[in-house]
């Protein structure tokens, strides 16, 4: 069972004015992770296919898109997008200044941090079709795009997330 926080969570979106290289993205995510208080992280940006998907060069490898191995906490995952925005859910407001400072350290150019509502927490029809009625860890809702395969989700917490273990 996942422990529920008794403080109100805060959702923020970090919007850099440039698309990040894997190195900068790694630096930014590490800084944010070090700041603590994270419930969920979502990274979004244009796709980096490993192979040319259509046209005369279909099937040819794109080596430049193959350099995105990220390390966060004690987990490693493959970066499949060029990071254009990062959405966070924080345990409470007190972590917000730390996130801003982390961005200032990691990003060498302008960025915006917006506070708002970025993750949905009620189950959509697609979520229902994908996960069924009972989702034990509701953090999974609103975290990945409905068409995404399961491997787009990296579990960084030691806390149990049952949904990913199920075969669907």
Partner 1 sequence: MAYTAQFYPGSTSVGINRRKQMSGNLEKLRDIPEADIVAILGHRTPGADYSSTHPPLKEMGEPDCPIRQIVAPTPGAAAGDRVRYNQFADSMYFAPSTPYWRSYWAAINCRGCDPGTLSGRQIIEARERDLDALTKVQMDSEVTDMALCSMRGCTVHGHSLRLEENGMMFDMLSRTEMGKDGNIYYVKDQVGIPLDKKINVGKPMSEAEAKKRTTIFRFDGVAIGGKVGARKYDEAVEALHHMWTLRTQWGYRPE
Output the smallest distance, CB 91 to partner 1, in A.
30
Q: Three-state SS string across 136-157, please?
A: CCHHHCCCCCCCCCHHHCCCCC
Nearer to partner 1, 37 or 68 (CB): 68
17 φ/ψ sector (left φ>0, alpha ψ -120 to 50, else beta): alpha
Which residues sit at the interface with partner 1, rule CB under 8 A?
16-21, 24, 46-49, 52-57, 60, 62-65, 82, 84, 108-109
Number of Cα atoms under 13 Å in the Cβ half of residue 61: 4
Nearer CB in complex with partner 1: 75/112: 112
Smallest separation, CB 89 to partner 1 (Å): 24
Q: How far apart are CA 116 and CA 90, in angstroms?
A: 12
Residue among 82 and 139 whose Cβ is closer to partner 1: 82
* Shortest distance, position 19 Cβ to partner 1, whole Å: 5
Shortest reach from residue 47's CB to partner 1, in Å: 7
Instruction: Return d(Cα 2, Cα 135) in angstroms, integer.
Output: 11
CB of 49 to partner 1, least distance (A): 6
Output 12 or 48, the one with its CB closest to partner 1. Answer: 48
Of 16 and 142, nearer to partner 1 (C-beta) is 16
Handedness of CA 67, 68, 72, 77 (dihedral sign): negative
Neighbouring residues of 155: CB distance < 8 A, sequence distance ≥ 6: 75, 161, 164
């Amino acid at each position: 069972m996942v422990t529920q926080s008794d403080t109100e969570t805060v959702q923020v979106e970090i919007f850099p004015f440039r698309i990040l290289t894997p190195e900068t993205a790694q630096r930014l995510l590490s800084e944010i992770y070090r700041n603590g208080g994270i419930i969920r992280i979502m990274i979004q940006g244009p796709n980096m296919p490993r192979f040319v998907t259509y046209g005369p060069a279909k099937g040819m490898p794109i080596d430049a898109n193959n350099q995105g191995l990220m390390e966060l906490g004690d987990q490693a995952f493959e970066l499949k997008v060029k990071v254009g925005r990062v959405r966070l859910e924080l345990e409470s407001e007190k972590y917000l200044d730390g996130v801003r400072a982390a961005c200032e350290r990691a990003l060498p150019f302008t960025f915006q941090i917006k506070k708002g509502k970025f993750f949905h927490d009620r189950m959509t029809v697609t979520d229902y079709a994908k996960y069924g009625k009972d989702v034990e860890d509701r953090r999974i809702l609103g975290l990945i795009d409905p068409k995404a395969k399961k491997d787009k989700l990296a579990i960084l917490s030691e806390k149990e997330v049952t949904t990913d273990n199920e075969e669907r």
